[in-house]
Amino acid sequence: MFGLTFDKLIIIAIIAAFLLGPERIPHYAAMLGRFVRKAKELADGAKDRLKDEMGPEFDDIDWKKLNPRQYDPRRIIRDALLDDTPHDPTPSTTTPAMKGSTP
């Protein structure tokens, strides 16, 4: 959650209590609650719209596989180098500079 630990949230709450004072804390807490609720509604709406546009294929997607946190460049390179599948060699073409050269 953006690197926020419980300790940091407590410190932020204590600072907010000092800055806002006891009179304004309920008002700002209600505003924060409305903001969180609206953000959740927007996220759910986007998910529902995506589900409607993709149709039944939406349920077939493995979302954990698409998580960007799982990508490790070292693992990707290692897997590519250790890949045993035969690759289709592309026909080599000679460039005009190579035609006149001798081996």
In a domain, 89, yes or no: no
Is residue 58 a contact partner of residue 50, using CB atoms and an 8 Å limit?
Answer: yes
Instruction: Using the predicted structure, report yes or no on whether residue 103 has a pLDDT greater than 60.
Output: no
pLDDT digits (tens, 9 = 90+) for 64-84: 877 777 778 888 888 888 877
In a domain, 42, yes or no: yes
Instruction: Tell me the pLDDT of the chain averaged across its residues.
Output: 81
Domain range enclosing 47:
6-82
For 28-44, b where at least 16 C-beta lie within 10 A, e where not — what string? eeeeeeeeeeeeeeeee
Percent above pLDDT 90 for the chain: 22
In a domain, 17, yes or no: yes
In a domain, 87, yes or no: no
Q: pLDDT-derived band of residue 86, with 50, 70 and 90 as boundaries?
A: low
Is residue 13 a contact partner of residue 22, using CB atoms and an 8 Å limit?
Answer: no
Q: How many domains does the chain have?
A: 1
pLDDT digits (tens, 9 = 90+) for 36-51: 999 999 999 998 998 8
- Give the C-alpha separation, 32 to 26, whole Å: 10
In a domain, 58, yes or no: yes
In a domain, 65, yes or no: yes
In a domain, 92, yes or no: no
In a domain, 96, yes or no: no
Q: Per 3-state DSSP, what percentage of the chain is helix, strand, and coil (rounded to 5)? A: 65, 0, 35
